[in-house]
């Protein structure tokens, strides 16, 4: 008779259908969209509710099995071998939609598409800022990873939108943060000690979030989305920075020419036609009232005229409704939310380095990143966006064939070089994979490193929670 295996207890608890051990399925679960090392998990466990999540964490703690949380699986890191992938996609209840206090309490599997539909159906007049990611990505994961969305110019990185968390700790006990911890509705993180930060950007290595309270924002009743076609990226980046400083725009972004070409159907754009704009930028105005929107538009027009007088070369502004006349293929950009789902294609992997940095080095960081991409044989597939308080986001994207010989190594080398040149120019990566944490190690403040180690030791002494993340030992 063979000894009972820890997974037998999980099967007894959840049923065999919730525990995937088929080798092909495990091989698929060991991959995300990135260049990162492929994992070899022992099982994928589908969890649908808090009770089951806590029970599985308890069983994993007894068995010493590492846990890797996932929802859409765009950004995972695995231990060298083994581990249980906790699939939280079915734990997707919108637990509360508090319209008066403008807070949604969400389970980790709730996606941007799902909440967006509910907010629209109920005519709440509220919105959640959307990332450029496909609609099946998790709101909770994106906030926990300090992601960036369409309202980040107004409201900062998405981690700041969290007003409280419910967390399953490594010993399967629960805790709540923010005003929630005082028995109040989760309306804000202040004024208690802000323990939410212990779980932010820690990538699941300090606790598994079972519910997050997320701020909702008033959706302006009137919008104007305008497009500018720039022939020099420096003009585009400078213009976006200056427009952002007016405190006028709801959102703004720049898509470099390879992204536009891919939107129009090209698979791997290589060379730019000199007549083609280098960058298409969009600016979103929004107001509660038509007259206010018209006033905002005239301020924007004056600023654009000023930029032109100062030498910036661009065509436009072209209104969203007229974009299809430039090229029918561009019509997708006219609709909000903007999504880059056209970069995700069957048979092609897509990965990226995203970093936040100070506004005054965006141009230099962008130039350095373009040189790195070119050295590694990639076109400048780049997204740039201004953020609240003068910060900027740069995202360098590579589309590649993950199965081809040497491709993962080429992409990894490129991303490592990008990581370095961006860091040297004051940019900091978000959602750092393990290899990037290793590269940052020598540059991190020693007190910060020590405290991260102590926090992880306190919250996860058995190193079970997503152990390949923030491993600074």
Ligand X SMILES: Cc1cc2nc3c(=O)[nH]c(=O)nc-3n(C[C@H](O)[C@H](O)[C@H](O)COP(=O)(O)OP(=O)(O)OC[C@H]3O[C@@H](n4cnc5c(N)ncnc54)[C@H](O)[C@@H]3O)c2cc1C
- The residues binding ligand X (CB under 6 A) are 32-33, 69-76, 88, 108, 131-134, 137-138, 140-142, 144-145, 147-149, 203-204, 208-209, 340-341, 343-344, 350, 466, 469
Angle in degrees, CA 15, 21, 24, rounded to 5 = 140
Q: Which is nearer to ligand X, 86 or 312 (CB)?
A: 86
Q: Which is nearer to ligand X, 30 or 304 (CB)?
A: 30
Distance of CA 393 to the CA centre of its chain: 12
Q: How far is CA 232 from CA 178, 238, 264, 359, in A?
A: 46, 10, 21, 18
Q: Is the dihedral of CA 372, 375, 376, 379 positive or negative?
A: positive
Q: How far is the CB of 31 from ligand X (least distance, A)?
A: 11
Q: How far apart are CA 69 and CA 415, in angstroms?
A: 24
Q: How far is the CB of 211 from ligand X (least distance, A)?
A: 9
Q: How far is CA 21 from CA 84, 231, 436, in A?
A: 10, 53, 31
Q: Which is nearer to ligand X, 304 or 418 (CB)?
A: 418
Token pair 């720039």: residue: 230
Q: How far apart are CA 117 and CA 21, in angstroms?
A: 34
Q: How far apart are CA 50 and CA 56, in angstroms?
A: 10
Residue nearest to ligand X (CB): 147
- Strand 279-287 vs strand 251-256: parallel, antiparallel, or unpaired? antiparallel
Q: How far is the CB of 279 from ligand X (least distance, A)?
A: 17
Token pair of 73 as six digits: 């699986």
Q: How far is the CB of 243 from ligand X (least distance, A)?
A: 19
Q: Which is nearer to ligand X, 149 or 357 (CB)?
A: 149
Q: Which is nearer to ligand X, 170 or 304 (CB)?
A: 170
Q: Which is nearer to ligand X, 107 or 224 (CB)?
A: 107
- Strand 19-20 vs strand 43-46: parallel, antiparallel, or unpaired? antiparallel
Token pair of 386 as six digits: 């201004």
Q: Whose CA is closest to 221, among 245, 246, 250, 244? A: 250
Q: Which is nearer to ligand X, 141 or 304 (CB)?
A: 141
Q: How far is the CB of 144 from ligand X (least distance, A)?
A: 5
Beta carbons of 64 and 464 less than 8 angstroms apart = yes
Q: Name the E strands within 249-313.
A: 251-256, 279-287
Q: How far is the CB of 76 from ligand X (least distance, A)?
A: 5
Token pair 């932010």: residue: 200
Q: How far is the CB of 352 from ligand X (least distance, A)?
A: 7
Q: How far is the CB of 342 from ligand X (least distance, A)?
A: 8
Q: Which is nearer to ligand X, 145 or 417 (CB)?
A: 145
Q: What is the DSSP code (8-state) at residue 465?
A: B
Beta carbons of 388 and 376 less than 8 angstroms apart = no
Q: How far is the CB of 71 from ligand X (least distance, A)?
A: 4
Q: Which is nearer to ligand X, 209 or 330 (CB)?
A: 209
Q: How far apart are CA 104 and CA 189, in angstroms?
A: 14
Q: Which is nearer to ligand X, 235 or 469 (CB)?
A: 469
Beta carbons of 246 and 368 less than 8 angstroms apart = no
């Amino acid at each position: 008779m063979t000894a009972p295996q820890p997974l037998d207890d999980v099967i007894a608890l959840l049923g065999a259908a919730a525990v995937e051990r088929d080798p092909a399925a495990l091989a698929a679960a060991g991959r995300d969209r990135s260049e990162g090392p492929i994992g070899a998990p022992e099982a994928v466990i589908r969890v649908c509710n808090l009770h089951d999540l806590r029970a599985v964490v308890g069983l994993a703690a007894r068995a010493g099995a590492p846990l890797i949380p996932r929802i859409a699986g765009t950004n995972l890191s695995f231990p060298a071998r083994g581990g249980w992938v906790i699939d939280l996609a079915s734990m997707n209840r919108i637990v509360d939609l508090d319209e008066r206090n403008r807070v949604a309490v969400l389970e980790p599997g709730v996606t941007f598409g799902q909440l967006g539909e509910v907010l629209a159906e109920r005519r709440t007049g509220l919105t959640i800022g959307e990332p450029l990611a496909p609609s099946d990505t998790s709101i909770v994961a994106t906030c926990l990873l300090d992601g960036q969305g369409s309202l980040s110019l107004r409201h900062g990185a998405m981690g700041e939108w969290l007003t409280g968390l419910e967390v399953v700790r490594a010993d399967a006990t629960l805790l709540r943060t923010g005003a929630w911890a005082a028995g109040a509705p989760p309306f804000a993180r202040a004024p208690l000690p802000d323990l939410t930060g212990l779980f932010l950007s820690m990538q699941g290595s300090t606790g598994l979030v079972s519910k997050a309270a997320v701020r909702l924002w008033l959706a302006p009743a009137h919008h104007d989305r305008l497009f500018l076609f720039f022939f020099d990226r420096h003009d585009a980046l400078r213009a976006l920075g200056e427009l952002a400083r007016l405190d006028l725009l709801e959102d703004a972004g720049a898509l470099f020419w390879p992204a536009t070409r891919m939107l129009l159907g090209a698979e791997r754009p290589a060379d730019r036609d000199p007549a083609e704009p280098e960058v298409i930028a969009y600016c979103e105005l929004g107001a509660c009232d038509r007259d206010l929107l018209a006033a905002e538009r005239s301020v924007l027009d004056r600023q654009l005229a000023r930029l032109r007088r100062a030498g910036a070369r661009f065509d436009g502004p072209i209104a969203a409704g007229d974009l299809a006349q430039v090229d029918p293929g561009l019509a997708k950009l006219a609709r909000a939310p903007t999504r880059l789902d056209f970069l995700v294609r069957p048979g092609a992997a897509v990965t990226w380095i995203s970093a936040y940095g100070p506004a005054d080095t965006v141009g230099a960081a962008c130039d350095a990143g373009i040189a790195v991409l070119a050295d590694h044989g990639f076109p400048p597939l780049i997204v740039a966006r201004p953020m609240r308080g003068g910060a900027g986001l740069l995202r360098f994207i590579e589309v590649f064939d993950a199965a081809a010989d040497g491709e993962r190594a080429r992409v990894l080398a490129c991303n490592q070089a990008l990581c370095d040149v961006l860091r040297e120019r004051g940019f900091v990566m978000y959602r750092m994979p393990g290899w990037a944490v290793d590269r940052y190690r020598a540059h991190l403040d020693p007190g910060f490193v020590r405290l991260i180690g102590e926090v992880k030791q306190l919250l996860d002494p058995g190193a079970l929670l997503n152990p390949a993340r923030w491993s600074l030992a």
